[in-house]
Homo-oligomer: A and B are copies of this chain.
Amino acid sequence: MNDNAQNMLSAFMNVNLASISHNYHKISTYVEPSICAATVKADAYGLGLEEVAITLQNSGCKYFFVSDLYEAIRLRNIIGSNDNVIYALNGLKPTMTKEYISHKITPVIGSMTELEEYRANTDEYTEHHIALHFDTGFSRLGFEGNEISKLSINRLNVDLIMSHLSTAEDPQSSLSENQLDQFLKATNGFVGIKKTIANSAAIFRGKSFLLDMVRPGFCLYCGHNENGVLGRLEPAIELYAPIIQIKDIKAGSTIGYGATYKAIKDIRIALVEFGYADGLPWSLKSTNHQSGGQFYFDNAPTPILGRVSMDIVAIDVTGIKNDIKRGDFVEIIGSNQNIDTLAKNAGTISYEILTRLNSRVKKHYKYV
């Protein structure tokens, strides 16, 4: 941990913007001549939209995906009204067509209802762009096959057609290849319009998924270590929290809510100021019969004991040889434990952990 971090007194997340820039360059070079867009929805997956978007813009990114109109307007105010393109994935918000136009936001339209509302609220010869979403088996947003065959885009400026994969990260499933086939067939008649289907996982799945544009999100922020095609992508985040008390517990004492963990010998515990209100999953709790999550101190694992509280969690530091004291920090995500391990222990996915870290966790931006 660096000096600056040591000076802090609350839980904090290091966000290394240089890693995000590095990852963007790696991916954009790899996918050439495809365009490398960036998915920055949900406050750039919780890392902070402003800092992340400007970093990506400075790294050459011109195409951004966010979830809805409000995120899009926020992003427009950050990156300015230049030649950047902002796509709002969740479609056209009712009654708001003119807002998309005035803020130069491209709605990703996925239903006839939206398309009719868009047409009804725009001039016939508007130069404003829209994107279309085709559902190829995800059963989420997008036009269905029977709708696509009847779709007329006369007098619309369609800039992009997208689809989304349901199992891109699963090498055992061939659903992604089926979806790609369906997408290529469905878009065959739409000449001269860019196509995109690849999220982070699909970029690594095969060059056939790259099409005109890729839209990585997670791998820009957390790296991706399972596939060597790009060399090393760097995890951009680390998470630390302070110890606020050390105490020695007698055998037989119970720890925390519900008294679900009982010390079977004398142990030393540290109380860490980081709980579920900060974003630590309650499911990382442990009992005597079931292990939960763990943090690291001085590169040694320190298991969570008992339940996670709102603001505090107890960890076992009995085995720590070095001095450990109030004010020291423990690693929650860092060189010893990546976010995937933390998520696995919590029975959830990394994305949920990342996007649900609370505003009490101070962000500390680095560029090294």
Contact = CB atoms under 8 A, between A and B. Distances in A.
Interface in A125-182: 135, 137-141, 144, 166-167, 170, 173, 175
A90 B273 contact: yes
Contacts of A355: 276-277, 310, 358
A69 to B, nearest CB: 8
A277 B140 contact: no
Given A244-B90, A282-B348, A255 B139 contact: yes
B139 A253 contact: yes
A251 interface: no
B273 A9 contact: no
Residue with the greatest number of chain B CB neighbours at <10 A, chosen from A111, A114, A173, A310? A310
A20 interface: no
Contacts of A273: 67-68, 90
Nearest to A308: B352
B70 A10 contact: yes
A114 B247 CA distance: 13
Contact of A259 (B167, B258, B282, B348): B167
A120 to B, nearest CB: 14
A119 interface: no
Interface string A295-312: 000000000001001111
Contact of A352 (B175, B282, B352): B282
Contacts of A41: 277, 310-311
A176 to B, nearest CB: 10
Interface of A: 9-10, 41-43, 45-46, 67-70, 89-91, 93-96, 110-111, 113-114, 135, 137-141, 144, 166-167, 170, 173, 175, 244-245, 247-249, 253-259, 263, 269, 271, 273, 276-277, 279, 281-283, 306, 309-312, 314, 325-327, 347-349, 351-352, 355-356, 358-360
16 contacts: A9-B94, A9-B96, A67-B310, A90-B311, A91-B244, A111-B247, A111-B326, A138-B255, A166-B256, A167-B257, A281-B352, A282-B349, A283-B283, A283-B348, A310-B351, A356-B356
Given A42-B277, A139-B255, A359-B359, 4 more contacts: A90-B273, A139-B314, A166-B259, A167-B257
